[in-house]
Structure 1
Amino acid sequence: MPSDDEEISTQWTKSLTPEEHQRLEQQNTRLVSNHKANTLENEAKKHWDLFYKRNETRFFKDRHWSTREFTELLSDDENEKRRVLFEIGCGVGNFIFPLIEEKLDFKVFACDLSPRAIEILKTNPLYNLSETTAFQCDITTEDVHKHVEKDCIDIVTLIFVLSAIHPDKFTITLKNIFTVLKPGGLVLFRDYGLYDMAQIRFKPGNKIAENFYMRQDGTRSFYFSTDFVKSIFEIVGFEIMENTYIHRRTVNKKENVDVPRIFVQTKARKPA
């Protein structure tokens, strides 16, 4: 039985059982109303602010797997010019602070929709204003260009962020990212994959649109196929370098938990 930290990459999503097919069909019997869906969109910042008010730093674990999965973050060239990293949807710093602990040589920009998340991030002892600039921003708008210049970023990280954004705004979000990246710059993307167990477990009344759902706390989640990720990145002008499903089983024998998870991991480049 695979342990919690074992992952298997494959080009294919999972095959659904008849029971899983039925559960997905049942989700269509009662959808989120248009009024509710519009309210969720308009109050997205409020719901994420409440999320961080309740959970502070306790919900997400630090992502110490990042340099293993994204070796592009590492550099063996001591003479290389200092790189600039932009983490979008930084939350309370679960991605950037492990990189700082590893003493990777980056100038870091970090933004989040939630002002409270940014406030919490700045209280971390590892936060150094001369090395890291964190700010509140809605990446689906042009506000990002008030904080980050065009063509100045070497690497953008987009880790479990795009799924929280309305699908109608995926293209403008990726265009904003494309604009701040240097020619040849990279996007490192990881998010929820199609038919992830979390998607299948949603009950009727939670589905907003195809593969897009409302959680109980008012936050939202989209579930991606590799084909869909490829299409939205290429529409904006990115070149796809890697695009795969990550299959993982989280196992806790003491609590009798065995949960299959599916993620999509993509590496895309702005043409030089």
Structure 2
Amino acid sequence: MASESGHETFGHTARILTSEEIEKLQNDTQLVTDFKQNKFEKEAQKNWDLFYKRNTTKFFKDRHWTTREFKELLNDSTKNDQLVIFEVGCGVGNFMFPLLQEDPSLYFYSCDFSQRAVDFVKENELYNKDRSTVFQCDITQDNINGTVNYNSIDVATLIFVLSAIHPDKMVQALHKIYQVIKPGGCLLIRDYGLYDFAMLRFSKGHKLAENFYVRQDGTRAFYFSTEYLEEKMTSAGFIRERNDYVERNTVNKKEGINVPRIFVQGKFVKPHEKS
């Protein structure tokens, strides 16, 4: 079954829903009021600051899987060039610090919506201002060119970040990232996929729009189909090189269940200028 936007409504190549799951989604039609939606948007930064105040540096694990999934993060040892990475949504450094430890040739620009998260990064004993520039910004509207020059980045990353941005502002954010990437450079992304277990766990009263939900703490999450992700990326100027669903099973020992996780993962390239 397809929605008006052309997306498959109740199944795709990575996840076929049960009849119970289909019924749950079909019955979850009431959206959060416009007043509350505007409140969540206005308080988005505050809600992420509160998230890091509650969880400090202990919520996310270090992401040691990134070079296995994204070979583009490995610098070519035959070259002496420094690989410059722009991490959008750095959190408390779980992505950046492991990579800097593994490869001394990397340089990072890292930003986050939350000033509290940025402060945690700078307080970390691994933080080295000679190998990284870390700053707070709202990627949907702030001018980042004062910190990151146009056409200067080899690889940009969005790891579970785009989903937290309102769908109406995604292309605007992606275009700002596009501007600082070198022609021929790329944007790597992993994020929540359509029909991920976390999406199916939302109870009524948490739906903001199609595939867009708000958590109890006020932070939000969008669940992407590969088609929707590609639509946003190409609207910002990128060309798809890879764009796939990734299936993972996470065992939740506390609840005694095997959790099916669905992510989208892709590589999108900034084309060279035509001569």
Shorter-chain TM-score range: over 0.9
Which residue matches 2:244? Answer: 244
Structure 2 Cα separation of the partners of residues 215 and 208 of structure 1: 10
Q: Deviations over 1:212-242 (max 9, x none)?
A: 0000000000000001111111122211111
Runs of 4 or more off by more than 6 Å in structure 1? none
When the two chains are superposed, the root-mean-square deviation of aligned CA atoms in Å is 1.3
* In 1: Cα distance, 2:265 partner to 2:228 partner: 12
Which residues of 2 match residues 52-201 of structure 1 at below 5 A? Answer: 52-201=52-201
In structure 2, stretches of 5+ residues that fail to align are 1-11
In the alignment, the residues of structure 2 paired with residue 255 and residue 229 of structure 1 have an alpha-carbon distance, to the nearest angstrom, of 32
Report if aligned partners of 2:239, 2:268 keep a CA contact under 8 Å in 1: yes
Q: Secondary structure at the match of 2:168?
A: helix
Listed as ranges, the gaps of 5+ residues in structure 1 are: 1-10
In the alignment, the residues of structure 1 paired with residue 23 and residue 201 of structure 2 have an alpha-carbon distance, to the nearest angstrom, of 11
Stretch of structure 1 that moved more, 226-235 or 249-258: 249-258
Mapped contact 2:248–2:262 kept (Cα < 8 A): yes
Per the alignment, residue 23 of structure 1 pairs with 24
Range with greater deviation from structure 2 (138-147 or 156-165) = 138-147
Pairwise CA distance, 1:145: 2.0
Query: Conserved in 2, the CA contact under 8 Å of 1:83 and 1:107?
Result: yes
Inter-CA distance 17–53: structure 2 relative to 1 (3 Å threshold): same
Aligned partners of 2:75 and 2:83 also within 8 Å: no
Aligned equivalents of 1:252 and 1:27: distance in 2?
25
Taking structure 2 as the reference length, the TM-score comes to 0.92
Q: In the TM superposition, what is the alpha-carbon distance from 1:254 to its structure 2 partner?
A: 7.3
Q: SS of 1:64's equivalent? A: coil
Do the aligned partners of 1:82 and 1:107 also contact (CA within 8 Å) in 2? yes
Q: Distance in 1 between matches of 2:173 and 2:121?
A: 23
Over 3 Å counting, the alpha-carbon distance change for 1:185 and 1:123 in structure 2 is same
Percent sequence identity is 54
Answer whether contact 1:23 1:201 (CA < 8 A) is retained.
no
Distance 1:253 1:88 in 2: 32
Q: Deviations over 1:176-223 (max 9, x none)?
A: 011010101110100000000111111111000111000000000000
Query: 1:150, CA displacement in angstroms?
Result: 0.7
State the 1:251 CA deviation.
1.8
Structure 1 residues 76 and 150, CA gap change in structure 2 (3 angstroms): closer
